[in-house]
Amino acid sequence: MGLKVSRREFFKRSTAATAVVATSSAAAAGQHPVGWRGATRVETVATNCEMCFWRCGALAEIKDGKVLKLEGNPEHPLTKGRLCARGNSGTKLLYDPDRLKNPMMRTGVRGEGKFRRVSWNEALDFLASRLLDIKTKYGPESVALFPHGVAATFFTTLMRAYGSPNSAEPAFAQCRGPREVGYALTFGRPLGSPEPVDLEESKLIVLIGSHIGENVFTSQVTAFAEGLARGAKLIVVDPRFSVAASKADWWLPIRPGTDIALLLAWMNVLLGEGLYDKEYIGQYAEGLPQLEAHVREFTPEWAEAITELPAHKIRETARAMGAMKPAVALHPGRHTSWYGDDTQRARAMAILTALLGSWGRKGGIFLPTALNVGKPAIPPFPESKRGRADGAGTRFPFASEEQGVTNGLVDATVEEKPYPIKAWIVYGQNVLQSIPQRPKTHEAINKLDLMVVVDVLPMEQIYYADLVLPEATYLERYDFPQIVESAKRPYIALRQPAVSPLYESKPGWWIAKQMARRLGLEAYFPWAGPDEHLETLIRPLGIDPAVLRTCGAVAYEGRPYIKDRLPSDGQLFPTPSGKIELYSSMLKQAGFDPLPRYTSVEDPPPGYFRLIYGRAPVHSFARTQNNAWLDALMHENQVWLATAAARDYGLEDGERVILENQDGARSLPIRVRITAGIRKDCAYMVHGFGHRSRALELAYHRGAADTQLMTRVKVDPIMGGTGLRVNFVRIVKNG
Amino acid sequence: MARYAMVTDLRKCVGCQACTVACNSEWEVPTGYARTHVKFTGVAGTFPNLLSSFFVAQCNHCDHPACIDPCPTGATYQAENGIVMVDRNLCIGCGYCVEACPYDARYINPVIKKVDKCDFCSSRIERGLEPACVATCTAHAKFYGDLEEPKSDVYKMVYEQGARRLETAQVAIGPNVYYLGKPEEVDLAFAAFAPHPPRLPRAGELWTTVLRPLVLAAIGATFLGQAVAFFRQLVKGEGLFEDDGEQ
C-alpha cells in the first residue's frame, strides 16, 4: 500500500479519456505493484470480490504466496475502496479448512456422503463419457445446468455447445426477474445489475421491501447514506422496522402482499391532484387516458382497507413524491419474486417512476451506457429441436431464455415433461438451500442418472452428487470479466488470481475448457488461457491488458441522463411504440392485464404467521455461514416476532422453538427475537442458515433455513417468477 | 500539537460491521474479540412509533485516560497527539487496564497474552492511510482527523455540527470519539452503552504509590494477569456480538 499514490496517479493517467493507452513500467511488464503492510513488503493484486455478486474492487496484499489482507481498491470506479464485512472476510473463505480439496466420486448411496478421491483426469473422463452417453440415449436437452455467478459463463457456453438450452439460475425467477421484465415492458429495457438508482442525487428515496443497510452492496449503501446526508427524504414500505425504516421520514408497515394497492393509490393521488410530470409524460409516454381511468377508483381510502395504512399517510407520501419529482429514486427492489403477481408490481413501480418523470433523470433511475466488448469467434450453437424444458419463452412468455426458470427445470425433472431430464450440473449455487420446495428438489435429484457439483465448499448438495469438482475461490482464479453498463460511468473490471489455487482446486474456466476438450467442443473455447480470453474481450475497448491487470478496473464516460444521450445510444424507449408504455401493448397481446391490478392475498390461518425473510449485512445468501469471522458476528439466525404476538404464545426472548409451516414442514431449532419492530402477523428470519452439511464445521445446524419452510410457491404466469412469501408458520414450543 | 479524534455519523451508519471485520483483519484480532465493533440499541417505542440506533464501540483515546495509572509496567501511555498506545514489549497481560476502562474498549488477546485495543491505526496513519475502519466504511459514516485542524472533517463535525461524546456525570474523562445524529437516536445509543465507573476504584493511586514497584519486581504478575483475564472471560462468556437484545 506504500505505492498507493503511484497506483492512483497511474490510474488517473490511464483512464482520463475513453481511449486508454497509458503505460507504466510495472503495468507494461504486467507486474503487480508492491507496497508495505507494517514492516512487511507485500505485492498487491487488484481483483474483484465474490463474497456476494456486487463484485466490489479489492486489493489482495500478498506475501510469500499468502493473502495477508484484503483492502478495498480505491480506484474502482463504483466501489471506491470500500469493502463490506463479507468482502473483508474473503481470506477466511480462501483459508477455510473445510474447503473441497479434491475431485470426489460418490461410493455410497445418495445422501450418505461416502466418496472416493479421484484424479482430475479420472473425474473429467468419467464426466465426459457419461455426458456423451446421455446425449446418445436421451438427447442433449436432457442435461440441465444450474449456474450462478460470472464464471458460470464458461459453463453456459459449454451447455449451449453441447446442445442443451436448459440452463436456469435463481437470479432470474427467484430474484431479479420480475423487476427486469416489469421495467422492460414499460421502458423497453431492463434495469441490469447493479441497479441504476441515483440514490445520492435523490431528493426522495422510496424503498418498497428493500432493506438497504441489511442488504449490503457497498456502493449502494454509500449512495444511500450520501443521499440521506445531503437531505433526501425517505419513505420505507416494509412490514418490518428495518434499518432503513429506522432512518425513514415515513415508515409504512404495510400488510404484506398488498403493495400494488398502495402503488395504485399513489398513482390515484398523483393523477387526481395533477402532481405528475405532465411535460415528461406528454413527451415520452403513451397510455395516460387508460391509466387515469384505471386508477380513478383506487383512492387512498380504498387502499387503506387493503394495506392497513392510513389514507392520510398514503396521500401525504404521494404528495411528497409529487413535490420532489423528478428527483425521486423509487428503488425497483432486487429479490422481487414474492407473491406471484410480481411482474405487475414491478410494472406499477415502473409506471409510478414514469409519472414522476424519474426515469433517465437526475435523482431517479439513470440510463446504462453500452460498452463495446469483443467476443471470441466461435461456431454457432446447435439448434435444440425440443426447446427449453422450463417453459421460458413458451409457458412463461416473458421469461428470459438466457437465464431460465429454475423451478421450471426442477418441475420438468420430476414430471419428466416435456421430456426427461437425466443430468444436472450445478455450478456456483446450492440447489438444496437456495431453491424452495426442497422435497421436490430431492425428488428431482432421485430421478437423475448424473449429478455433478462444482463448488468451493462442501454444501449439503454434494451429499447427493455423483461427482464433486472442487473449484478455486475467487482469489485464486481468473473469471469472465465484469462488464457493467448500468453504472454512471460504465466499466470493465477484472477478476484475476491473487494466489495459486490451493489443494487440487481448479478455476471454473479450466474445468469448463477441459470438459469441452473431452466432449469434442474445443472450438467453442478458442483461447489458450485467461490472457488470450481477456485480450479478445477488451480489444474493441482499446485497453492495454496490463493496465487492467494493474488497476483492476477501467471506467468510461457515461451518459446516465436523458439530456446526455447521443443518437448512437439508440432509441430512448425501445418498446413497440417507441414510448414509455404506461399501458402495456405487449402484455395485452399476450393475454395479461395491460395495467396492473391488485389481486387479494391469502391471510395467515389462525395461529400462523406469514413467513418473510431477508438478509443480514454479514452474510450472503447461504454461502458465508462457514466463514469464521462472519460466523463470529452472526452464528445463527433468529425468528422475529412482534411483542404482542410473543405474549399471546407465552414466548420468551431468546427461547429456542421450531417453526412448522402450513404443510407440516418443520425447521431446525431457532431462537425467538421479540421485537416491537414487526407487524404481528409476520415472522421474519434471515435467509441462508440451517445448513445440514456436516462437512461445514461452523455452519452445521446453526439456525434454521427459510427455504425448508417454503413448500409452497406462487408462480408468476408472465415470466415464471417463483413467489416465495406465500408460506405460513406456527410456533412449536419445546419442539 | 495534534489531537486526533473520530466521529461516527449515526444518521449514515447502517450497522453493516464492515469496520469490525476490517479491523479484525488489519490487526489479526482473534475470532470472537474486537478492537472496534458496532452495537445495536434494540428497538425502543411502541409500534409503529419506533426508534433504534447503532453505536460504534472502540477506544476513546480520552483526554484523561482511566487506563494509564492502573498499568503496573507503563505499557499503556498517551502519545503527545492524544492517542493512547500500548507498548506490547512492556505489557504483562495483567488486565488491570481492561477492568479500568469505563468503555470496555480493551481485551486480553489470548494468542499473544497481551492487552489489545484500538490505536486509531497509528501504523496506517504513518503510511498516509486512513484507519482501516474509516477506509472501508460502506456508508462513509466514519471520520478521522485532527481536532486542532479547523479544516478537518472532525473539527467541523465537533465544533460546528454538534457531534457529541459519550460521558456521564460519573465518567467524564474527555473521550475523543464523537457521534453525530438525531438527538433522540444519540440519546438512545448513549443510554444503552453508557460507560461504567472504572472497576478498580482509586486504582491509580494505589498502584502508583504502593504496589507498582512491588509488582514490577514480582514474577507472579504475569500469572495474576492471566488469572484475571481468565475469570473475566468466564464471567462474560463468548459471543461478543450475539443477541444485542431489545429494550
As for the ipTM of the complex, it is 0.94
Q: Which of A213, A673, A674 lies nearest to residue B14, judging by beta carbons? A: A213
Q: What is the pLDDT of residues B38-59, one digit of tens each?
A: 999 999 999 999 999 999 999 9
Whether the bond between A418 and the residue before it is cis, its omega within 30 degrees of 0, is: yes
Whether residue B80 is predicted with pLDDT greater than 70 in this model: the reply is: yes
Average pLDDT of chain B?
A: 87
Residue B18 located in a structural domain = yes
C-alpha cell at A495: 477478476
Percent above pLDDT 70 for chain B: 81
Q: Is A634 close to B47, i.e. CB distance below 8 A?
A: no
Do A334 and A407 lie in a common domain? no
Do A326 and A403 lie in a common domain? no
**A195-219 mean pLDDT:** 98
pLDDT: which is higher, B236 or A433: A433
pLDDT of residue A40: 87
How far A464 CA sits from the closest chain B CA (Å)? 33
pLDDT of residue A36: 82
pLDDT of residue A15: 39
Residue B43 located in a structural domain = yes
Contact residues, chain A, for B20 at CB < 8 Å: 85, 633
Q: Is A81 close to B127, i.e. CB distance below 8 A?
A: no
Residue B29 located in a structural domain = yes
Q: Is B15 close to A1, i.e. CB distance below 8 A?
A: no
Q: How confident is the model at residue A12 (pLDDT cuts 50, 70, 90)?
A: very low
Cβ pair A686, A615 in contact under 8 A: yes
Chain B contact present for A241, CB below 8 A: yes
Cβ pair B58, B35 in contact under 8 A: yes
Do A622 and A718 lie in a common domain? yes
**A293-314 mean pLDDT:** 98
Comparing CA positions, the residue from A545, A721, A685, A709 lying closest to residue A170 is: A721
pLDDT: which is higher, A685 or B242: A685
Do A199 and A339 lie in a common domain? yes
Cβ pair A177, A403 in contact under 8 A: yes
Percent above pLDDT 90 for chain A: 93
Comparing CA positions, the residue from A605, A608, A726 lying closest to residue A660 is: A608
Whether residue B210 is predicted with pLDDT greater than 90 in this model: the reply is: no
**Which residues are CB-neighbours of A226 under 8 A, at least 6 positions away?**
A199, A200, B12, B140
Distance CA A169, CA A407 (A): 9
> Going along B79-236, which residue ranges are E strands?
84-86, 107-109, 114-116, 142-146, 164-165, 177-180
DSSP A31: P
Interface test with B, best of A67, A207, A629 (most B CBs within 10 A): A629
Residue B95 located in a structural domain = yes
Residue A47 located in a structural domain = no
Give chain B's length.
247
Residue A443 located in a structural domain = yes
Q: What is the CATH number of the domain that holds A415?
A: 3.40.50.740
User: How many separate domains does chain A show?
Assistant: 3
Could you write out the DSSP letters of every residue in A397-422?
TTS-TTT--HHHHHHHHHHT-SS---
Do A132 and A222 lie in a common domain? no
Residue A419 located in a structural domain = yes
Q: Is A617 close to B243, i.e. CB distance below 8 A?
A: no
**A22-37 mean pLDDT:** 61
How far B32 CA sits from the closest chain A CA (Å)? 6
Q: Is B136 close to A246, i.e. CB distance below 8 A?
A: no
Cβ pair A225, B180 in contact under 8 A: no
Do A163 and A238 lie in a common domain? no
Residue B110 located in a structural domain = yes
Distance CA A219, CA A584 (A): 33
Contact residues, chain B, for A637 at CB < 8 Å: none
For chain A positions 75-114, those within 8 Å of chain B (CB to CB) are 81-89, 91
How far A101 CA sits from the closest chain B CA (Å)? 24
Whether residue B215 is predicted with pLDDT greater than 60 in this model: the reply is: no
Residue A567's SS3 state is helix
Q: What is the CATH number of the domain that holds A354?
A: 3.40.228.10
pLDDT of residue B213: 55
Residue of A nearest to B53 (CA): A246
Whether residue A365 is predicted with pLDDT greater than 90 in this model: the reply is: yes
pLDDT of residue B209: 55
Residue A505 located in a structural domain = yes
Whether residue A20 is predicted with pLDDT greater than 50 in this model: the reply is: no
Distance CA A646, CA A651 (A): 5
Q: What is the pLDDT of residues A477-508, one digit of tens each?
A: 999 999 999 999 999 999 999 999 999 999 99
Amino acid, res. A617:
P
pLDDT of residue A35: 81
Whether residue A318 is predicted with pLDDT greater than 90 in this model: the reply is: yes
Comparing CA positions, the residue from B214, B29, B37, B14 lying closest to residue A222 is: B14
Contact residues, chain A, for B157 at CB < 8 Å: none
Residue A52 located in a structural domain = no
Whether residue A530 is predicted with pLDDT greater than 90 in this model: the reply is: yes
Do A403 and A439 lie in a common domain? yes
Give, in degrees to the nearest 5, the angle at Cα A387 between A381 and A390. 120
Q: What is the CATH number of the domain that holds A690?
A: 2.40.40.20
How far B65 CA sits from the closest chain A CA (Å)? 27
Residue A62, φ and ψ in degrees, nearest 5: -120, 135
Distance CA A104, CA A99 (A): 13
Residue A322 located in a structural domain = yes
Interface test with B, best of A207, A247, A255 (most B CBs within 10 A): A247
C-alpha cell at B5: 479524534
Do A267 and A233 lie in a common domain? yes
Residue of B nearest to A239 (CA): B48
User: How many separate domains does chain B show?
Assistant: 1
Comparing CA positions, the residue from B134, B117, B24, B133 lying closest to residue B77 is: B117
Do A578 and A470 lie in a common domain? no
Is residue A377 exposed (0-12), middle (13-18) or buried (19+ Cβ within 10 Å)?
exposed
Residue B245 located in a structural domain = no
Is residue B228 exposed (0-12), middle (13-18) or buried (19+ Cβ within 10 Å)?
middle
Residue A438 host element (H or E) = helix A438-446
Do A211 and A337 lie in a common domain? yes
Comparing CA positions, the residue from A492, A439, A413, A408 lying closest to residue A46 is: A492
Do A205 and A333 lie in a common domain? yes
Q: What is the CATH number of the domain that holds B153?
A: 3.30.70.20
**B83-111 mean pLDDT:** 97
Range(s) of the domain holding residue A718: 609-733
Whether residue A122 is predicted with pLDDT greater than 60 in this model: the reply is: yes
Range(s) of the domain holding residue B203: 4-236
Residue B244 located in a structural domain = no
pLDDT of residue B205: 54
- In chain B, % helix, strand, coil (3-state, to 5) comes to 30, 15, 55
Residue B247 located in a structural domain = no
Q: Is A618 close to B32, i.e. CB distance below 8 A?
A: no
Q: Which of B48, B139, B241 lies nearest to residue A633, judging by beta carbons? A: B241
How far B100 CA sits from the closest chain A CA (Å)? 26
Comparing CA positions, the residue from A288, A318, A284, A326 lying closest to residue A300 is: A318
Contact residues, chain A, for B17 at CB < 8 Å: 85, 617-618, 633
For chain A positions 601-630, those within 8 Å of chain B (CB to CB) are 617-618, 628-630
Residue B150's SS3 state is coil
Q: Which of B18, B47, B52 lies nearest to residue A84, judging by beta carbons? A: B18
Do A137 and A197 lie in a common domain? no
